[in-house]
Structure 1
Amino acid sequence: MGRPRRIVLIRHGESQGNQDDTIYERVPDHALELTADGLRQARQTGELLRGVFGEERVQAYVSPYRRTWDTFRALGLDPGLTRAREEPRLREQDWGNWQDPEDIQRQRKARDSYGHFFYRFAMGESGADVYDRVGSFLETLYRAFKQPDFPPNVLLVTHGLTMRLFCTRWFHWTVEEFEMLSNPANGETRMLIAEKEGRYVLDRPFERWGTPGPPGGGGP
């Protein structure tokens, strides 16, 4: 098959952490579960995707977090047509430790001022680190495309910031363009669709909260 006809990215359904910041004191980020609303969101998105994929084969790559695997399972894709593998490089931006709610809020406010791409959580990752490992994953994906029997659909079950950075890397957007983008809602998708000449286009844009300036901040 070669290059797939579509690459679908989905943000996991609502998790316990989206509902309650204090849970990070007691439960590791990677172990958070979906809420009832999160499961409902995933099932609704599954209805959409089953219509998109039809009887075509799907290669799925899933972040190793519990909430992403739970989201994938709730999609209800045909197991006879879908192959799934864990892909740690699609994980959430790591904080790297247990979190204090007040510290979380302080660091998030600092990140909003400093910039989501460059700000590094204490003992954790920056957006730039996530960008680099997404780039590494893309190299693996490009090699997989060369397989003659590669499925016509790729599904990435991941996280909001990772989705934005994947598209930033794929489409060669600037850091400033990335900073203007908002995360998709829980359970939302974005699709990269191949045109006849092989170029991929995004089915719909990310919401923006601002307009980027010229590369380099417009300085001399």
Structure 2
Amino acid sequence: MKPDRIILIRHGECFANTDESKFATEPDYTIELTDRGIQQAIEAGVKLKQLVGDETLYFYISPFWRTRSTFENIARQFPKSQFRYSEEPRLREQEWGYLRSYDELKKLKKERKEYGVFYYRFPGGEAGTDVYDRINDLLGSLHRDFLEPDYPQNCVLITHSLAIRLFIMRWFHLSVEEFEEMCSPKNAELVIFEYDACSDEYRLITEIERKKENVTRSRPISI
């Protein structure tokens, strides 16, 4: 049974969001939420509860500690009988390679912005294309899960900014240029897809902010 909604939630504010050098000095998966991030996650849980009411949910969670903590604080708004959950490693953050100095990290991030997020590969890590492939593979699993007759009414993915943008790109078959124009969702923001039974399609009802500057080279297909 197709869920009524697919909801993507970025983790709450983490310590690397307030001090980017932590991305260079600590294992990415261990970075935790700030006190503000915990409060954001609690508020996201309240918003989610208001949205779904007593409907059932299935949570897919990136295994990083900041996404686990976001889920834990969201889930406190619901009785355990209302939801199921599982960790989903394909929802993890883009791998940035081995730990390095903060100066080197800033240099690499500048290169990525200039080259394009989708194609740029961190030395020893992943390109956006690799995360796209993970998301593509995950969609196949989700569609198989949706075939279960007792699948919950809401599918909730708790993940990271890049994964959310690439999920939108893959679901709606957007171009690379359209992906590059998307801004990151805010911490603990709900990005909501709603199912339209008449068209048998999902509609993105959350407005995604677009970057104003020209962020990547563009070459339209001409046929």
The correspondence for 2:211, drawn from 195, 209, 212, is 209
Distance of 1:150 and 1:170 partners within structure 2 = 20
Q: CA deviation at 1:203?
A: 1.2
Distance of 2:154 and 2:71 partners within structure 1 = 15
CA contact (8 A) 2:193 2:206 kept: no
Q: Deviations over 1:59-110 (max 9, x none)?
A: 1000000000000011123321111100000011011321321111101111
**Amino acid in structure 2 at the alignment position of 1:209:** K
Change in Cα spacing, 1:3 to 1:29, as seen in structure 2 (3 Å) is same
Distance of 1:48 and 1:153 partners within structure 2 = 14
- Hey, what does 2:54 align to over in structure 1? 55
Change in Cα spacing, 1:210 to 1:217, as seen in structure 2 (3 Å) is farther
Equivalences, count: 218
Within 5 A, what are the aligned runs for 1:19-38?
Answer: 19-38=18-37
Structure 1 stretches of 5 or more lacking a match? Answer: none
- Hey, what does 1:190 align to over in structure 2? 191
Distance of 1:216 and 1:17 partners within structure 2 = 32
- Hey, what does 1:126 align to over in structure 2? 127
- Hey, what does 1:93 align to over in structure 2? 94
- Whether 1:11 aligns to 2:10 is yes
Q: CA deviation at 1:25?
A: 4.1
Distance of 2:61 and 2:3 partners within structure 1 = 17
TM-score normalized by structure 2?
A: 0.93
**Amino acid in structure 2 at the alignment position of 1:205:** E
Distance of 1:211 and 1:139 partners within structure 2 = 34
- Hey, what does 1:172 align to over in structure 2? 173
CA contact (8 A) 2:11 2:66 kept: yes
Distance of 1:147 and 1:107 partners within structure 2 = 44
Aligned-residue sequence identity (percent) comes to: 41
- Hey, what does 2:201 align to over in structure 1? 199
**Amino acid in structure 2 at the alignment position of 1:119:** Y
Distance of 1:135 and 1:164 partners within structure 2 = 12
Distance of 1:46 and 1:180 partners within structure 2 = 28
Q: Secondary structure at the match of 1:47?
A: helix
Q: Secondary structure at the match of 2:85?
A: strand
Q: CA deviation at 1:219?
A: 6.9
RMSD, aligned CA: 1.8
Change in Cα spacing, 1:177 to 1:25, as seen in structure 2 (3 Å) is closer
Structure 2 stretches of 5 or more lacking a match? Answer: none
Q: CA deviation at 1:196?
A: 2.3
TM-score normalized by structure 1?
A: 0.94
Q: Secondary structure at the match of 1:200?
A: strand
Q: Deviations over 1:181-206 (max 9, x none)?
A: 00011111100100122210111221
